[in-house]
Structure 1
Amino acid sequence: MKELNRQQDLAASTADDAVGLERTAAAVTRWSEKWFPDAYIFAAIAVVVVAVGALATGAPAQRVGIAFGDGFWSLIPFTMQMAIVAISGYVVAVSPPAAKLIAWLARLPSNGKSAVAFVALVSISASLFNWAISLIFSGLLVRALARRTGLRMDYRAAGAAAYLGMGATWALGLSSSASQLQANPDSLPKALLAITGVIPFSETIFLPQSLLLVAVLTVVSLLIAYRSAPGAERAKTAQYLGVSLNEAELEVAAPSRPGDWLEHSPLITILIVALGSVWAWHEFSTKNPVLAISNLNTYNFVFLLAGMLLNWRPRRFLNAVAKSVPSVAGVLIQFPLYGGIAYMLTKASAPSGLPLADHLSHFFVAVSSHASFPALMGVYSAVLGFFVPSGGGKWIIEAPYVIAAAKELQVHLGWAVTVYNAAEALPNLINPFWMLPLLGVLGLRARDVVGFTFTQFVVHLPLVIFMLWILAGTLTFHPPVMP
């Protein structure tokens, strides 16, 4: 074993010499792990920066503080909705039918490199429906592939491929926080709704230009995943990395008292799912299905029903929910800060002056044009996304001045949301915040996979910015729709 490890280390070293980009990524990862604090700190710093910015525009300190407090709880409905997105996705992904599907899928790839590309395809495809399912399901698929005898797959590259849905396409799919927010006026803070209006899915994720962007990103991501994965002779397997592949099932102990019977009987599950299905049928049969699924409450309701049904017994469903909760800790504690930031941006101003959001929108109008705005905003949003790694929370911060500037420059408002979505996903490839649930499943550390995701980032960044710019010219501005 020691000799095998020595040979693998030598082969890996040779590969690193041949691919300088991976060495650079490893160095960047080591630096960030040493110097970058928890994502909560970035959100807290953003609060301070926005408060200082509001004061700099002449807003009295009292108004800034009041705006922060008034906005702190303004995102409670959306915070709960996004927490349920993560929980329901996890519950579906760890259900017994999903486990059988994973076992079947794991038999398909013929070699280690194709297995990595296959994981990338599954991750990207699942992310268009639910980002949490994409993370957990893809991670479990990697573990199943790693258990295959004779399949020498680089476990790190496969782990990075499992993250591509979150790093490339999730924000262009049904669980896109910004698109969901804009399609649901009840989820938006009133101050923001007055600026943006309602922007339905037909103007964001279902735009032909947006679908084309998804297709291009999918093909490019798969090619990079395949080409960057080490071959069999250089692959570092899960066993080599010391990762245990023994699966810990969601324990469901046998009933020990009469009161436990209902927890282990599918009767309650069947009744609740039947009741919920009546409502879901009515919702989708009486409305345009696209409009129905764009309602975040409907979206979450359907996935929770699916989670109940797929786990079958209430006790197993509850165990899956309990296991999923740690993955939403960041959402629960950071979103209130984003609500406070949004209010400071839009409500804190001098008695006869403009709020900070208006100053920012005027700045972007001054430095950009109708043609350059999408590319400029894409770069800005990607940079900000590294420090505020939350699609919904960051949109609350950006939307007031992004949409105001887009309206003034006559940029298609739905495309402005798509610009945000595509650019917002980019920093996920190098920021470990959303990697945490996946890394927990894989038993890896961020530095094990960032070398591969950084390679994707280097290619995605110019490609996404170029497509956001070139496709914007094919769209026409429409005034916002007010509820």
Structure 2
Amino acid sequence: MFAAVTRWFDRIVQRYLPDAFLFAGLLTILVFLLGVFVTDASPVQMVDYWGSGFWDLLSFTMQMALIVVTGYILANTPLFKRLLSTLAVLAKTPGQAIVLVTFVASIACLINYGFGLVVGALFARHVVRQVPSVDYRILVAAAYSGFLVWHGGLSASIPLTIATEDHFLADVMGTIPIADTLLSPANLFIVCAFLISLPVVNYFLLKTSTSSYTIDMARFAEEKREEAAAVAETPAEKLENSQWVSLAIALLGLTYVVLYFIENGLDLNINIVNFTFLFLGILCHRTPRRFLTAVGEGVKNAGGIIIQFPFYAGIMGMMVGSGLSEQLSLWFVSISSAETFPLWTFLSAGLLNMFIPSGGGQWAVQGPIMVPAALELGADMAKTAMAVAWGDAWTNMIQPFWALPLLAIAGLKVRDIMGFCVILLFWAFVPIAIGLMFF
């Protein structure tokens, strides 16, 4: 039965799920129509909300484009290739490959979500070289499944926000330390359940697959560039091929990285991850010319992110401006009690995440509704916040927004993995619901 359901979802997704750009376009049309017919917003107002919000994620778009480019740059350095290849050797069979990639991606996402997306995709590429018989689509889906745990880890935006003094809801809910959120029994149970169960679920996805998706291994072949014997004839060429220039720039950047962690501890965020990847790439490529060649190749992978993320910003603008997000949240509040409120909050956050696929952005929209409701119902405030966080993480399995950076590096399209991710979505509901209801 498990095999039949998996194959059915895979066939449906392969046949009917459009390209990720078209998915964003269709979602835009859907939200526009909902705003016109469900709220008091007029068509002109909905267009205004959409256009006004279209560029609200520009800085975030640049961050995610850089995570792909800098990750590609670092992955194509000789040192990093050897590190990932050495770890990939641990996989001898397709089943071992799936389990290893799932575990590595999950641990990396617990450290930082951007870091985990890049590491998961890069590691999948190295593992498929080691075990070419593995179904590459399921391998990449396994890498993406690790993203389920990110909002329970060190880069979790919602619990870190409410643990910060003077956050925007501090007057209503106060400051909640991470001991009550990230280190709570409920969160620890959910994270541990995923670390144990996700490799097993992905292993069964592989075993129930009746066909193996093979790829042209030449796509991932190690590139060997022949260097001309006399390339540094002019002063400009000498600078472009100078190891000293790269060394000086890299040391400057990496010195800042060291100072940052001395001052802030293990405070990982997307900017410091990008910064570290960039200057490690400069150092490990050794010359500016080799580095710039890798940059030119890596930029090709970021096109989907650059074009699609503004459309999601426009969708967010329509959801907030029209009041759709508020209506959705309030409906779930209306059917809740103190005991069931975390579960209904989780479900509402999962649905809202399809339209606002950003943890911080979703909390800015949903937090002001859920926090007063939790106070009125007498529900646990920390658990309410984590319910929104886990709802945001849960439906990422069927929302292409976060899969784009990973797929760009892996070289697949969203329809290649989404059928398997639907199964992961169904499974993920179980440990999250148990954690929120019984811990």
TM-score band w.r.t. shorter chain: 0.7 to 0.9
For structure 1, which segment, 132-141 or 369-378, has the greater mean C-alpha deviation from structure 2 after superposition? 132-141
CA gap of 1:157–1:42, structure 2 versus 1, over 3 A, is same
1:101 aligns with 2:69: no
**Cα separation, partners in 2 of 1:451 and 1:83, compared to 1, 3 Å:** closer
Residues 290-345 of structure 1 deviation map (CA, whole Å, 9 limit, x = unaligned):
5xx15654454444444443444444444335245325325641354256347626
Task: Give the corresponding residue for 2:150.
Answer: 170
Residue 389 of structure 1 contacts residue 428 of structure 1 at CA under 8 Å; is this kept in 2? yes
Alignment-derived partner of residue 210 in structure 1: 187
1:421 Cα deviation (Å)? Answer: 2.8
1:266-312: per-residue Cα shift (whole Å, max 9, x none)?
A: 4344334433444444443344x25xx15654454444444443444
1:115 aligned counterpart, secondary structure:
helix
Alignment of 1:195-206 (within 5 A): 204-206=181-183
- Amino acid corresponding to residue 236 of structure 1 in structure 2: S
The change in CA–CA distance for 1:73 and 1:140 in structure 2 (over 3 A counts) is closer
* Alpha-carbon distance change, 335 to 96 in structure 1, aligned in 2, over 3 angstroms: farther
In structure 2, stretches of 5+ residues that fail to align are none
Residue 334 of structure 1 pairs with residue 311 of structure 2: yes
Are 1:112 and 2:89 matched, yes or no?
no
Q: Secondary structure at the match of 1:405?
A: helix
| Partner-residue secondary structure (3-state), 1:55 | coil
RMSD: 4.2
Corresponding residue number in structure 1 for 2:252: 275
Give the C-alpha shift of residue 109 in structure 1: 1.9
Cα 1:204/1:93, change in 2 over 3 Å: farther
Q: 1:213 to 1:66 in 2, by over 3 A?
A: same
Cα deviations across residues 22-78 of structure 1 (Å, max 9, x unaligned)?
22212431454269932244246436645766636xxx9998887777666555555
1:116 and 1:225 in contact (8 A); partners too: yes
Structure 2 residue 395 is the aligned partner of structure 1 residue 427: yes
Q: Is the CA contact 1:250–1:316 (under 8 Å) kept in the aligned structure 2?
A: no
Change (3 A) 1:183 1:297: farther
Provide the rounded CA distance (Å) in 2 between the counterparts of 1:458 and 1:126: 23
In 2: Cα distance, 1:383 partner to 1:436 partner: 20
| Alignment partner of 1:406 is 2:374 | yes
Between the aligned partners of 1:75 and 1:159, the Cα distance in structure 2 is 26
Give the aligned residue type for 1:142: A
What is the TM-score when the length of structure 1 is the normalising length?
A: 0.72
Determine whether 1:158 maps to 2:158.
Answer: no
Cα 1:247–1:301, aligned 2, differ >3 Å: closer, same or farther?
Answer: same
Mapped contact 2:66–2:274 kept (Cα < 8 A): yes
Distance 1:252 1:131 in 2: 36
Q: Take 1:306 and 1:125, find their aligned partners in 2: how far apart are those partners?
A: 21
Confirm or deny: 8 A CA contact 1:75 1:339 kept in the other structure.
Answer: no
Secondary structure at 2:207's aligned position in 1? coil
CA drift at 1:112? 1.9
SS in 2 for 1:368: coil
Count of aligned residue pairs for this structure pair: 432
Aligned to 1:470: 438
- TM-score, normalised by the number of residues in structure 2: 0.78
Per the alignment, do residues 313 and 396 of structure 1 end up closer, same or farther by CA in structure 2, a change over 3 Å counting?
Answer: farther
Q: Hey, which of these two has a bigger chunk of helix by percent?
A: 2
Q: Measure, in 1, the Cα distance between the counterparts of 2:181 and 2:224.
A: 38
1:23 corresponds to 2:3: no
What is the letter of the counterpart of residue 309 of structure 1?
L
**Correspondence 1:453 to 2:421:** yes
2:97/2:139 contact within 8 Å kept: yes
Q: Which runs of 5+ in 1 are unaligned?
A: 1-16, 346-354, 472-483
Q: 1:451 to 1:282 in 2, by over 3 A?
A: closer
- Aligned 8 A contact 1:269 1:308 in 2: yes
What is the percent sequence identity of the aligned residues?
A: 28
Indicate the residue corresponding to 2:262 in structure 1.
Answer: 285
Within the alignment, does 1:374 sit opposite 2:342 as a pair? yes
